[in-house]
Chains A and B, each alone.
Chain A
Amino acid sequence: MATGIKDKVAIIGMGCTKFGERWDCGTEHLLNEAFQEALLDAGVTKDQIGAAWYGSAIDRVNVGNSGLPASTALRLHGVPVTRVENMCATGTEALRGAAYAVAAGAVDFALAIGAEKLKDTGYGGLPVSSRGTLNDLILPFATAPSGFAQLAAGYRARYGVSREDLKRAMARVSWKSHQNGAKNPKAHLRKPVEMETILNAPLVAEPLGVYDCCGVSDGAACAILTTPDIARGLGKKDLVTIKALQVALSAGREMSTSDWDGSYVRNTRIAAKRAYEEAGITDPRRQISMMEVHDCFSITELVTMEDLFISADGGAVRDIMDGFYDADGAVPCQIDGGLKCFGHPIGASGLRMCYENYLQLLGRAGARQLANPVYGLSHNLGGVPYNCVSSVAIMGRAA
């Protein structure tokens, strides 16, 4: 009988680069920057890493495929390095691989690391690439914002929300994240933005304007994992452990059948339910202390609030406008600034979210520090709402 991942794996060190337009360095430098910080934090040496999972999503514009770019950049001689890719959940997938290795007892110390170098593309936004020979024949080549923008049409149709009210709530999502990101030295975008500026920005994909979209940047983040016992043996006292790690994928029903109305993301709900069960959380709206959700677009964050069962169905607009998710609200969300301010170097994002939760749980978040957080949730959503990879990770203080 499976017993889940809860409290079997401790995070003893994490690292995260400054995110942004890192014209000065390549992926190999980003990987090292995050890795060195994590090694120092963990108090272990590189030689102790028994296995590594390296996440990078877009090999075409990054450093290529396989684990070799990471093993070479970090000089992990002879270490089994596995490259993982699962769209925007790639970083969380790296964490899952490393966590499972530790939980299985296969290695004492495992590394999860993710990086993406997006600013070598020459343009804004993510590159659009082939989805395979059959899909290229039948699927329109469209951008990520156009995939997520459709949630707005579905949400409006289901709840009868006016275009104006939804646009304002979406703008409020971005406004809040910019407020938070301004306090974070590692964020890419560090200026607060006025509501009117957000509302009046040029359209990217109707109804998403420029400020409804996350930034595009370079970055890397990583985690060093071990068992709680080994961690205590190293003299670690305040342990952060993984409470849940869940991933759920579409299998065609949202995109190919009529039993989905386009107003929510089904697989986020599936992953969230399983994650709460794995972590033993019964009332997420009250128990989750903070969240880093996949705010690739403001509308994504809005529906995610309902998909994670924090806001009631149809209730996200009100919660958002009431400040429920603000830094001083009941469940602060994107307290580090989110994808909105960090940008979304895909392979790194899941681990960057964990990094903020980790800092918060250890009381090391500086100007952003929340009072007594217990559970931190992070969420990724890759692909498009109707054909997606959803991940939910929960961490907290060791029992």
Chain B
Amino acid sequence: MSDIGITGYAAYVPRLRMDRAAIAAAHAWALPGLKSAAKGERSFCSWDEDTITMSVAALRACLRGSASGSLRSLSFASTTPVFADLQNASMVAAAAGLGAELSTLDASGSLRAGTSALLRALEGGAAAGSSMADSAIVAADARRAKPGSVQELHYGAGAVALRVGSAAPIARYLGSASSVSAFVDHFRSEGEAYDYQWEERWIRDEGYLKIVPAAVQRLLKSAGVEAASIDHFCLSATIGGVAAAVAKQLGIKPEALVDNFAARCGDTGAAHPLLMFAAALERATPGQKILVTGFGAGCDALLFETTAAISAYRSASPPSTALARGLTDGNYTKLLSFSGELQLDWGMRAECDMKTALTQLYRAREQVVAFMAGKCSHCGTVQFPRLAACVKCDSTAPMSAEPLADAPAKVATFTADWLMYYPAPPLYVGLVQFDNGARLVMEMVEVDPERFDVGTPLRMVYRVKDRDPLRHHQRYFWKAAPAL
């Protein structure tokens, strides 16, 4: 048996949560039926979050505390990738500070994209041998939903990162089974904003209850594992009772069902099976069996067994933490505005040209994307940006790269700008002082005005800096958020 398995995991869920009751209340005049489904809250991206930024956050947390130099590949899985041609995985890799000697791939086109990417990493790693096995998968989704649709209530946003390898895995990979089917329960055509869905009862009866059990039974048979011995069963489905019905049909214990986070997060699409997997890993004790399934025009079923290493493993951002950090919001138009369903009148100040010089972006990639400051080889001063001469001693001696993304920092000065066009007013901006000496003016996000002042500790987050509606481009940079 191969030693390959999961060596790490981390989850990221945007802190913004919309109270589903607020969504239903806004639509009650036309769609009173939504009220019955409007329980709990769903996560949604702030204006400056997307599948790339969420993936960067999850991947950074997943890699925290361990060397990433041995990583051989990174896959990005999403049905809502930011770019159609500009590999999203490469952007995530650059922001996470991964080196150039990396194989990268985008997986898309199905809610199975996450499980399929994981499957490829496991099978590829097993085939390549232990020295080449180290790889990472990030899965993220932030699907748009038509206002007033059930999907608007069901969908959430989130990302998960998994690390695959053979060095002391916390869960060994026992095998998998996949199937493909022309079962079309929903689709979204290229360039379209919204999914088109068929009736839930049909999806349940002809889809989940037939396609999933077939794949799982094949897997269990080949692995020689009894359904009753499964300790954690991950099946992502927003249709009520589906996971329980599938489990019952298969003979999986009801208590093995992993919560689908409908109450606090909603369905995170291609990321969701892996988010549930991460939650199972967070809860699991050594020697437990975890069954992960991905459903969408077929099924992926993957089986794992936790090892003794799981007892000592601590994720820097486990699902429970990511889910618990929600900031509940009742402003429904905020959800609409941030996701692009509603165009507010931001006035003439919003007419700035945000053209990005791609030449400049490439020259400054180490600074802008990987957030590397320069360290003067003459006087040792850490500084950002890294210009031709040292800001402190004026030396033109070469500078070495000094990472800022995880460096401790505090607020030096700040203000809340109500005049500037900003999609989530006010714009908090100020000088950020890093303990290592670097200082720069930064945008500040997730600010609680009651608990924010000079000296407040900060952490760095990778976010959309500006959107360029003229060229359908957006540029990213780091922002400062209060330390958690």
B471 CB → nearest A CB, Å: 14
| Number of residues from A at the complex interface, CB < 8 A | 46
Using a Cβ cutoff of 8 Å, how many contacts connect chains A and B? 143
- Determine whether the beta carbon of A253 is less than 8 Å from that of B368: no
B368 contacts which chain A residues (CB < 8 A)? 137-138
Contact of B356 among A137, A139, A150 (CB under 8 A): A137
> With contacts A143-B420, A152-B415 known, is A206 near B433, CB below 8 A?
no
Is A141 located at the chain interface by the 8 A CB criterion? yes
CB neighbours (8 Å) of A133 from chain B are: 356-357, 359-360
CB-contact partner of B441 in A123, A140, A202, under 8 A: A140
Main secondary structure of the interface of B (DSSP, over half): mixed
A146:B417 contact, CB within 8 angstroms: yes
Assembled-state Cα–Cα distance A271/B356 (Å): 36
Does B427 lie within 8 Å of A140, measured CB to CB?
Answer: yes
A137 touches B437 (CB 8 A): no
Interface centre among A137, A153, A386 (most CB of B within 10 A): A137
Which among A9-17, A221-229, A256-264, A356-364 touches the partner chain? Answer: A256-264
Q: Assess the A258–B433 pair: CB atoms within 8 A.
A: yes
Contacting pair B426 A128 (CB below 8 A): no
CB-based contact A150/B414 at 8 Å:
yes
Q: Looking at the complex, which of B89-97, B259-267, B275-283, B345-353 is the stretch in contact with chain A?
A: B345-353
Is B440 within 8 A of A255, CB to CB? yes
B465: CB under 8 A from chain A?
A: yes
Closest CB in chain A relative to B45 CB, distance in Å? 19
**A4 at the A/B interface (Cβ < 8 Å)?**
no
Q: Using CB atoms, name the residue of chain B closest to A259.
A: B392
Q: Which residues of chain A are near B356, meaning CB under 8 Å?
A: 133, 136-137
Q: How far is the CB of B412 from chain A (nearest CB, A)?
A: 6
Interface contact A252-B387, CB-CB below 8 Å:
yes
B364 cross-chain contacts in A, Cβ below 8 A: 134, 137-138
Q: Is B22 positioned at the interface, with any CB of A under 8 Å from its CB?
A: no
Known: A138-B368, A253-B392. A205 touches B385 (CB 8 A): no
Q: Chain A residues with Cβ under 8 A from B442's Cβ?
A: 140
Min CB gap A104→B, angstroms: 30
Where the two chains meet, the residues of A that have a C-beta atom closer than 8 Å to any C-beta of B are 121-125, 128-130, 133-134, 136-143, 145-146, 149-154, 156-157, 202-208, 251-253, 255-258, 261-262, 384, 386
Instruction: Identify the B interface with A (CB < 8 A).
Output: 347-349, 352-354, 356-357, 359-361, 364, 367-368, 381, 383-385, 387, 391-392, 412-421, 426-427, 429-431, 433, 437-443, 453-455, 465-466, 475, 477
Q: List 21 A-B contacts (CB under 8 A).
A: A122-B348, A123-B348, A128-B420, A137-B368, A138-B364, A138-B384, A138-B440, A145-B415, A145-B417, A146-B416, A146-B417, A150-B413, A150-B430, A153-B415, A153-B454, A157-B454, A205-B426, A206-B426, A257-B381, A386-B431, A386-B441
